[in-house]
């Protein structure tokens, strides 16, 4: 039996990359006083209808919706920010902290055509800085994304930024954009023709070359922004320069979710393929109020873990821990001595494996060599009767006998030897 289309087993040989990402992320974000949060995988469908936007691709084509036994409309979360905003409201986090700095890592679900780096069950790492409207908050979250990517040895990236204004500014812009694009309706790709009615801003994101040529002379959103929005964006650009963070202004950059305003940004690989966005985010000052909470300006981003792993798996160094001690048990009916040994090994936190196969000595030694163990503890009848261990170093085939009474001192020496 195979897994469902668009889902994937994460095997031990792959999970080491996930663990590395989590380890690096936690260390960096803890330094900046961001706190991990875990929200439910299922939420009320209404949450996403009110936050993401009725005419987005996620709402129209990609959400996994179902009715539970009480006929409540439930959705497997397609993204993380809406759930975080809901958690802020329902737990009244704003009462104890004017600014909440949160991060998450977990599965999301969208019904899309599976391909490399894109699954129907996928995972996102995200951060949310909730409670600040200052450009410095935007810079902090962008810088944290870059720091995480750099720590993962990912350097082949470009940062694109834009200001998309607020809903009122965009409404004026969209009217003019539609008037312009209507003149070229028959030349637009089919997706853009559909979006022209319900979601014209997404046309700016089109990968169709003909549509992109048409957009060259289209109205520019930046010309519709207020002085306040322009000053906010210019301050972000100035601080990026101050921090020596290279960036590119992309006038056509819009995010696919309706709750964004002002700052929008993406970090992309420099590879020439369509699925090259590693990190995407922006500011969402109205979302929490839109969901029934107070007005709380916020900014954040999300990184697709599967897509990130495909870019770092050949560059990031992963230390694969080997089993140090392989315990060969030649008498499975007398295991008391094994548990004595295990308790002593646990003191020094040395990695070990007990052979549970009940095979002969040669086969157990072969298995120890296959997994790269340094030494074997061999326990047979003589060892049990006389309370000692036969230790075999696999690289040199050197053997020695150690009394159980002296094992703690021996492991202390071994631990110091391995650490040097």
Residue list for the binding site for L-histidine: 79-81, 110, 124, 128, 255, 259-260
- CA dist., res. 263 & res. 36, Å (int): 24
Query: Binding site, residues?
Result: 79-81, 110, 124, 128, 255, 259-260
Query: 254 and 265 in contact (C-beta within 8 Å)?
Result: no
Q: Are the CB atoms for 80 and 108 separated by under 8 Å? A: yes
Q: Which candidate, 68, 266, 239, places its Cα nearest to that of 164?
A: 266
Q: How far apart are the first and last CA of the chain?
A: 47
Q: Locate tokens 């870059």: which residue? A: 146
Long-range contacts of 398-407 (CB under 8 A, 24+ apart): 404/337, 404/340, 404/341, 407/341, 407/344
Query: Which residue bears the tokens 């922006």?
Result: 282
Q: Where are the beta strands (DSSP E) in 164-290?
A: 248-249, 261-269, 277-283
- Give CA separation, 104 vs 19, 176, 304, in Å: 14, 39, 12
- Say how far apart CA 359 and CA 377 lie, in whole Å: 15
For residue 101, the 8-state DSSP code is E
Query: Alpha helix (H) ranges present in 91-224?
Result: 93-96, 135-151, 167-182, 190-198, 209-215
User: Quick check: 331 and 380 in contact, CB under 8 A?
Assistant: yes
Distance CA 114, CA 121 (A): 10
In angstroms, the CA 112 to CA 63 distance is: 9
CA angle, residues 129, 133, 137, in degrees to nearest 5: 45
Tell me the C-alpha distance between 326 and 317, whole Å.
26
Instruction: Give the integer Cα–Cα distance in Å for 218 and 178.
Output: 10
Residue 380 in contact with residue 359, Cβ under 8 Å?
no
Instruction: Give the CA distances from residue 234 to residues 67, 144, 241, in Å, rounded to whole numbers and listed in that order.
Output: 47, 20, 11
């Amino acid at each position: 039996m195979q897994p469902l289309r668009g889902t994937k087993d994460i095997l031990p040989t792959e999970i080491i990359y996930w663990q590395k990402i989590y380890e690096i992320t936690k260390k960096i974000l803890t330094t900046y006083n961001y706190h991990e949060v875990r929200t439910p995988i299922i939420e009320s469908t209404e949450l996403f209808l009110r936050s993401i936007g009725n005419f987005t691709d996620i709402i129209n084509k990609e959400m996994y919706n179902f009715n539970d036994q009480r006929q409540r409309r439930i959705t497997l979360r397609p993204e993380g920010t809406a759930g975080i905003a809901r958690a802020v409201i329902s737990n009244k986090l704003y009462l104890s902290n004017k600014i909440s700095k949160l991060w998450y890592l977990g599965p999301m679900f969208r019904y899309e055509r599976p391909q490399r780096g894109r699954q129907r069950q996928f995972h996102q790492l995200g951060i949310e800085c909730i409670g600040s409207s200052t450009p410095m908050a935007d810079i902090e979250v962008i810088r944290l994304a870059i720091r995480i990517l750099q720590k993962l040895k990912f350097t082949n990236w470009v940062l694109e930024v834009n200001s998309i204004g607020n809903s009122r500014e965009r409404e004026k812009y969209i009217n003019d954009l539609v008037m312009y694009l209507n003149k070229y309706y028959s030349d637009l790709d089919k997706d853009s023709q559909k979006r022209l009615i319900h979601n014209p801003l997404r046309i700016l994101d089109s990968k169709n070359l003909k549509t992109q040529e048409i957009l060259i002379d289209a109205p520019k959103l930046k010309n519709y922004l207020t002085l306040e929005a322009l000053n906010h964006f210019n301050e972000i650009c100035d601080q990026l320069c101050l921090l020596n963070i290279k960036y590119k202004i992309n006038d056509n950059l819009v995010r696919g979710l309706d709750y964004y305003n002002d700052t929008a940004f993406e970090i992309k690989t420099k590879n020439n393929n369509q699925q090259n966005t590693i990190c995407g985010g922006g500011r969402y000052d109205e979302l929490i109020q839109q969901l029934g909470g107070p007005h709380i300006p916020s900014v954040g981003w999300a990184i697709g873990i599967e897509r990130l792993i495909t870019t770092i798996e050949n560059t990031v160094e992963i230390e694969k821990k080997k089993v140090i001690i392989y315990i060969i048990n030649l008498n499975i009916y007398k295991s008391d001595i094994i548990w004595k040994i295990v308790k002593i090994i646990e003191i020094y936190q040395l990695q070990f494996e007990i052979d549970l196969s009940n095979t002969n000595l040669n086969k157990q030694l072969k298995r120890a060599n296959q997994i790269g163990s340094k030494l074997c503890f061999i326990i047979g009848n003589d060892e049990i009767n006389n309370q000692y261990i036969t230790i075999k170093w696999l690289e040199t085939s050197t053997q020695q006998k150690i009394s159980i009474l002296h094992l703690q001192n021996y492991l202390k020496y071994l631990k110091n030897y391995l650490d040097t």
